Amino acid sequence: MTEILKAEHLSKIYKSPFFRINHRGIRDVSFSVNEGEIFGFLGPNGAGKTTTLKIIVGIHRADSGRVFVKNIPINDIEYKKHIGFLPENPYFHNYLSAEEFLSITGALYGLNGKKLRERIKEVLEKVGLTKYELRGKRIKNFSKGMIQRLGIAQAIIHEPEIVILDEPLSGLDPIGRKEVRDVILDLKKEGKTVFFSSHILQDVEMICDRVAIIADGKIIKTGILEEMLVKKDGAYEVKLALKESSSFDVIKKFGEISDIEGNTVFVYVDNEESKDKLLETIVKDGFGKILKVNPLHKSLEDEFMRLFNIEEKNEA
């Protein structure tokens, strides 16, 4: 796949004027984001997520390392045309309306006149703000969810290839989180790349294609989310269509029957060898048909805690 964003060996140290104590923000952070994917940047509070994002969008300067978007280096004037950014705690001028704010944002990217008016209407529709009565309504009267939607709207007003979102679901109620997740998924359907920073594991698991996990300022794992969550102990769920219920006793030799729906049986098998023997027996002895074999997955929380336990032991 084509890389759209690449970070190479980023490091950042925050220098304190008091007692000459330095705080390391991130160290040797490297990763790449592929075109058209939702990339999750995952870690606990204080891990270095926001520092990394601020370097990528040009708010902070790295002490070392390089960043490229579409092979354009961050110090090139063309760089920022390709990215849109929603910060963790967006603040907009309270006395403006949504349309007024987006007019200013769009003008900063060179949009004007009829094209800008049409684009404002389009992005407000895209983020779901048109379902609210916005005429004459000032931003100071917006709910948290409406602010997040407006933040995404300003991030995409100039049609960037990659949209960078820092904790876009933080502080939202369940309905608001669902709606903003849908907006992010719609961006992917349109061919946009989304860089999605979060500490909410459930949201990352629901929408991301690949993830990078950061802890104590360094990347500890990067990979395809689906592959990352496959159980490594070889546990499987096997779905069978049996001819006779008398086959149950044979099946129980290899695994545990977890559910029965008519002549359809779901079998939990805790290792690959037993799975292979079960399938061979079903086919060889003509007990029925094999409908599906699914490797069982762990949750992202399971993997997250496992990695952090490993990290803590390594530092001990």
Residues 181 and 93 in one domain: yes
Domain housing 255: 236-295
Residues 43 and 185 in one domain: yes
Residues 111 and 247 in one domain: no
Reported as a single tens digit per residue, the pLDDT across 97-111 is: 999 999 999 999 999
The answer to the question of residue 91 being in a domain is: yes
The answer to the question of residue 300 being in a domain is: no
Q: What is the pTM of this model?
A: 0.77
The answer to the question of residue 278 being in a domain is: yes
Where would I find the H helices in 157-259?
174-189, 201-207, 225-228, 248-251
- How many domains in the chain? 2
- CATH number of 74's domain: 3.40.50.300
Distance CA 312, CA 216 (A): 11
- Sign of the CA dihedral 87, 89, 94, 98? positive
Residues 27 and 137 in one domain: yes
The answer to the question of residue 122 being in a domain is: yes
Residues sharing a CB contact under 8 Å with residue 138, sequence separation 6 or more, in sequence order: 94, 95, 96, 97
Reported as a single tens digit per residue, the pLDDT across 48-101 is: 999 999 999 999 999 999 999 999 999 999 999 999 999 988 889 999 999 999
Residues 215 and 288 in one domain: no
- CATH number of 276's domain: 3.30.70.1150
The answer to the question of residue 22 being in a domain is: yes
Reported as a single tens digit per residue, the pLDDT across 267-294 is: 888 888 888 888 988 888 888 889 988 8
Partners of residue 6 on adjacent β-strands: 32, 68
Partners of residue 13 on adjacent β-strands: 24
The answer to the question of residue 184 being in a domain is: yes
At 36 the pLDDT is 95
